[in-house]
Amino acid sequence: MALLRNSLRCMQISSVKNVGSILVQTRSIKRWVAPVLRELRQRAEKLGPQPPAPRSGFLDWNYRAELFAFGKRLNEDFQIPLLQTALTQESYVAKEKLKQEELGVENADIQLKHNAELAEHGQRLAKAYIEAFVAHSLPKMPAEGHKAVTSYLLTVDTLAHVALHLGMKELLMDADYPPSSDAMSRSLLAVIGCLQQSSGLERAFSFVRDFICTQLNQKDLMEIWHIDNPEEVLKQICRQRGISEPEPRLIADCGRNTILAAYFVGLYSNKKLLGKGFGEDIHTATQLAALDALQTIFEIHEHRKPFNFSIAVESKSIKLPLLPN
């Protein structure tokens, strides 16, 4: 108790200042802070939920400076007018024209271009490089798998995810805020086309590799490429290689004739184990064993060698297809 009393006395001494012969107690929080915060909270509750405000609505917003900073963050040299076009949606141009017409301006000439052409050009660039990258990184996967992986990387959700984390949400000039996923993905493709025209083809391909192809990192490729009938696909591969068709064999089971039954099935060809799988019945276990065998043949297991995202664009080990004009 004496120790507590001494501690309180020390705290009181440290919280006062000795000004001449007068002791003045100091406060760290002013008296007006709590009433003001209370009033602001009550006003916010009366207004109700408000739509999100774009960053461009603030007084200190400098769009040209933001575009310049965007390029420097990515370590790229963009042509600022071309980058602004890449981030301008067609809906925004139509909205500006409508505003001019409402103000009575006849034959309004809006000096704005939308990003439709740049997005189409960027789509061709991205698809060309992704197809070459996937074919080089997964050489044993068939063309169907390559197509599925390429389609996944070019989906609207994947591109919008990349664009959001590159900080493009506040830079987009769109009629709606927040911009839709379709607008975000289109703008990202337009930025790729803008980069090709500003810095060349190699920088555009490096951009696609660094920000889009890297979305495959730690991904289960069987979740991207769905094989409908793995057992039949495995039989076709065995016929193409001239080996006997796979034969399922029951390796182990437990809980038979119960709701917790489990079967362990292996697929063999020429007395060689191709794959194995577990299931609640023999058919399910056989299908999973076929999937396991296909993953081994195509080298797309979860424990496969990681993707090499440092492939040089000019490397002879990767062939880039010709781009259409």
As a whole number, mean pLDDT of residues 277-288 equals 91
- Identify whether 27 is part of a domain: no
* Total domains present in the chain: 2
Q: Is the pLDDT of residue 3 over 60?
A: no
- Shared-domain flag, residues 188 and 245: no
- Shared-domain flag, residues 184 and 272: no
- Shared-domain flag, residues 271 and 126: no
Domain boundary among 164, 198, 221: 221
Domain boundary among 190, 221, 252: 221
Q: What percent of the chain has pLDDT over 70?
A: 86
Q: Is the pLDDT of residue 1 over 70?
A: no
- Shared-domain flag, residues 83 and 201: yes
- Shared-domain flag, residues 157 and 214: yes
- Shared-domain flag, residues 130 and 244: no
Q: Which residues contact 148 (CB under 8 A, 6 or more apart)?
A: 224, 225, 226
Q: What is the model's pLDDT at position 98?
A: 81
- Shared-domain flag, residues 236 and 138: no
pTM score, two decimals?
0.78
Q: Is 136 in contact with 209 (CB distance < 8 Å)?
A: no
As a whole number, mean pLDDT of residues 248-267 equals 89
- Shared-domain flag, residues 125 and 245: no
Q: What percent of the chain has pLDDT over 90?
A: 32
As a whole number, mean pLDDT of residues 272-280 equals 90
Q: What is the model's pLDDT at position 28?
A: 77
H/E stretch holding 118 reads helix 116-137
Which is more confidently placed, 61 or 36? 36
pLDDT tens readout for residues 103-131: 776 666 667 788 889 999 999 999 999 99
Q: pLDDT band for position 257 (50/70/90)?
A: confident
pLDDT tens readout for residues 130-165: 998 898 888 888 889 999 999 999 999 999 999 999
- Identify whether 52 is part of a domain: no
- Identify whether 117 is part of a domain: yes
Domain housing 104: 63-221
Tokens of 252: 């182990």
Q: Is the pLDDT of residue 24 over 80?
A: no
- Identify whether 251 is part of a domain: yes
pLDDT tens readout for residues 175-214: 888 889 999 999 999 999 999 998 888 899 989 999 999 9
Q: What is the model's pLDDT at position 36?
A: 95
Q: pLDDT band for position 63 (50/70/90)?
A: confident
- Identify whether 147 is part of a domain: yes
CATH, residue 232:
3.30.160.20
Q: 121 to each of 124, 180, 187, 202, 228, how far by Cα in Å?
A: 5, 21, 12, 15, 34
As a whole number, mean pLDDT of residues 210-233 equals 89
Angle between helices 181-199 and 116-137 (to 10 degrees): 80
Which is more confidently placed, 18 or 87? 87
Q: What is the model's pLDDT at position 55?
A: 84
- Shared-domain flag, residues 104 and 144: yes
As a whole number, mean pLDDT of residues 207-234 equals 89
Domain boundary among 206, 221, 236: 221
